[in-house]
Structure 1
Amino acid sequence: METQTIQIQTPQLPPEFINYINSKLENHKKGRKHVVQQLGSIDRVLELLADIWLNNLTPKELTKKYNIGYFQLYRLANDVNQWREQIIAYLKAGGEEIKDLRQHPIIQEWAHKIRISGSLSQLRLIPILIGVLQGRYCDFKCSPTKFDLQKAQEFAAKYFETHPNQKKLPRHIRMAIRHFLMVAKNINIPRGFGATYGLSGEKDNFGAYRYVYATQEQINKIREYLSTPSLNSLEALVFFDLGIESLARATTLAQTKISDFKQQGNIVTINMYESKTDRIFQKFLLLNIEHCKQTWENIQKLIKIT
């Protein structure tokens, strides 16, 4: 007699629902944050839906728990109501698993390291990583113990099978995986290798404003305005001019000290600390160039009056 194998399929979240939530999480437009962004992760969204659809929390209880107005919370539930049956089936099948994984020693150690570092905002990455490990984004499951760079690549491959129109993993998922591997598992991701594993740390809007520039005429008008005697803003003029010459970020300019400037002949060397790469870069003012000369003269004036 032939034995038949019965396969039990675990309920999956609808891809359309996942795409909807990810689109809201990745939307960085100015203005009021969408309720999904306020919740911070798909795991938190599912927790909310369970509280509304299964646990029957009152509006007052929901507002207190999530610190969000209940009209916003119910509007979200209404927006995803078309997938209600599949989501409820998923919640009922995996509810206990979520609780267990939060208690996993590696996850707890990860949370402990985050708290010690003081970067408490990184705690939001934990439910996102749990979603990765539990198959919340695609047909992929793995234990925290076994999850490494190879498993991360497997997840990325599965994710793109489920979401063929996506060119790369959503940034919040990439950041959760990178942080978990480097902090919880002590797995180093060499600089530049992140993209190879589908884990690039590059922001999604990187280079979005590369075509934005100021003309020489516009620069002259700004300098003319900042040089107005009634404005009395030598500091702003120096900040602007030094920014043009060094191409440094505003935070780097603000952190530059007087002792970082060294003049030798017609060359002024500036040591600038870049927090993004944790390195010091040397910038130069060539005093045979008129704008560099004016910038250095104004810096010296500013030094005398401060």
Structure 2
Amino acid sequence: MKTKLSLFFLLFSLIAAHGQTQTSLNISKERNTWQTFTYDMGNVFKSVGHSYSRPVHWKGEQWLNFAGVAAGTATLFFVDDEFNDWVDGFREDVPSGLVEFGNRYGSPENNYALTGAVYLTGLFTKNEKLRRTGVLLIASATAGGFLQQVSKRIIGRARPKSGESSDVFDPFHLQRVRNFDSFPSGHAILAFTNAYAIAKQFKSPWVKAGIYTVGLIPGFARIVDEFHWISDVAFGTVLSIFIVESIDRYLDSKYDQKYNDGEKKVSWDLNFAPGQIGVRVTF
């Protein structure tokens, strides 16, 4: 399984690189490789700070987006136990290889293996657009990863496998408390951050859909393994989108090579009807 995962990460990196085939290979001749590396890493840390500072600058539309996230998460919160019971009906039928893949792919060490491979490929081939993609991947994963680590300690939500219901909390701990660190899902954040950032390199909706599907597997695996509730995974997935979009906009001012030059916008539409609740995310 480890060999298959290694091959997957290599293939995924090559797919990301393939999306750059028409990009310019020019890099500023004023910087050597070390100077380029330090410039990029500086942008990683600045991007993380930028993403955390965005709420200070939010206006009406951004606050509506936040309200949409809060409303959607709250709605799922009220059905977490029922959804988990529903998954019990097919939990044992899910292929173990799929679950193992999801758990490994969403882990921090494998996440940074992928993001590092993408960045270093761009650095040593002097491909600015691929470097920029690597910076976007690393910065987004770092921002989301740190945020979820802090959130787990503050919120202290019980995991499904703890035997407690979804509304049980043991909050405010400096150290993570075993089985009370469910919200949000770190695997979902890291995996979908990668998928969403890499999918930006492609215009085909079919390619994007395929990459998104791979990015959703870790969240699904964590639900099947009873590490997370559906609201943990859904919130982590949506949070990934907002983090990547925020950092992507910031990096537009730092690199000449760009992709998706059109307007970068994420919007929410909430639809309510008798016996039905719908959430549509446009990005």
Same fold (TM over 0.5): no
The structure richer in helix per residue is: 2
Where relative contact order (Cα < 8 A, 6+ residues apart) is larger, the structure is: 2
**TM-score, normalised to structure 2's length?**
0.28
Larger radius of gyration: 1
